[in-house]
Structure 1
Amino acid sequence: MNESLHIVCPHCHTTNRVKSEQLGSAPDCGQCHQPLFTGHPVALDDEAAFDKHITRSQVPVLVDFWAPWCGPCRMMAPAYEKAAAELEPRVRVAKVNTEAAQALGGRYNIRSIPTLALFAGGKEVARQPGAMTNPAQIVQWVMTHLPR
């Protein structure tokens, strides 16, 4: 399988073309030369960057809608961080601070936080409100909802 995928850089948000078999070998961005996958969630509080990652990346994007004042969000953060290390590069892992990006929270009708939303092909394919504090539980939820 020698398929090329579009991957949006988490640093400069440039769309890169990466061969699928190279995903696991830590590809760098052609523009800024930073790693395309860091094993950490990328903050997507800017609406334009969020839209680019959701619509242009050809890997699914897992988004944690959270807020700094939210206790359950802070409880889930370490598990989400560990899940990111397991899920990337198969899935881009991101966070949206609903305080900083209120328009995104409104657009996706986020009514409780934390809320995980999985996007594939530019569309939301699954949603899970409430904190998950076990990294394996987060990974399992994502793997269950990935498009085949």
Structure 2
Amino acid sequence: MSHHLTCLSCGSVNRVPAERLSAHPKCGTCGAKLAEPRVHDIDTATLRKAETKDTLPLLVDFWAPWCGPCRMMAPEFEKAARALAPNARFAKVNTQIHGDASQRYGIRGIPLLILFRGGQEVARLTGARPAAEIEAFVRSHMAAA
């Protein structure tokens, strides 16, 4: 079995054998790591591609720099990313810079976490959450898939 992963740096779609996920696979176009344990800041064009092409779960934090709860949750989101890599990937979309995200994804408040998998939105979680809750949220939907 193999996974399709959109490079969160350049937007290229890569095919990665499942057994190679923990071997730090790199993008064939730009060389960026594809399944690393960190959060990527992405734009909505990259998100649109990743949400439709990726086979691994992708959890996206929609946030803004002026949002206190968003800033408080950022370290917790990073902890959850480290805990779940390489079986899930994490990204952030700054809704202040990428205003089209609010309308496209029906965002009514931030922080908002949306989990994508296999070309569709799987679930949403609103409000600032500790790492353990974020991990449990993703794991519960990974098990259901």
- Does the TM-score normalized on the shorter chain lie above 0.5? yes
- CA shift digits 1:49-95 (9 cap, x unpaired): 11111111111110101110000001100000111111222111011
Q: 2:22 maps to what in 1? A: 24
Bigger shift: residues 61-70 or 24-33: 24-33
Percent of paired sites with the same residue: 48
Contact 1:4–1:19 under 8 Å retained in 2? yes
**For 1:10 and 1:127, how far apart are their aligned partners in 2?**
21
Q: 2:134 maps to what in 1? A: 138
Find the residue that maps to 1:113 and give its secondary structure.
Answer: coil
**For 2:68 and 2:52, how far apart are their aligned partners in 1?**
31
The amino acid of 1:71's aligned partner reads G
Write the mapping of 1:3-18 to structure 2, written as runs, cut at 5 A.
3-18=1-16
The amino acid of 1:145's aligned partner reads H
**Is 1:71 matched with 2:68?**
yes
Q: How big is the alpha-carbon RMSD for the aligned residues of Structure 1 and Structure 2? A: 1.1
**For 2:111 and 2:56, how far apart are their aligned partners in 1?**
22
TM-score scaled by structure 2? 0.94
Find the residue that maps to 2:139 and give its secondary structure.
Answer: helix
The amino acid of 2:41's aligned partner reads A
Q: 1:62 maps to what in 2? A: 59
The correspondence for 1:96, drawn from 87, 93, 105, is: 93
The amino acid of 1:23's aligned partner reads L
TM-score scaled by structure 1? 0.92
Q: Work out the number of aligned pairs and report it.
A: 144
**For 2:31 and 2:23, how far apart are their aligned partners in 1?**
14
**For 2:140 and 2:97, how far apart are their aligned partners in 1?**
30
Show structure 1 runs of 5+ residues with no match: none
The amino acid of 2:81's aligned partner reads A
1:37 positional shift: 2.3
Show structure 2 runs of 5+ residues with no match: none
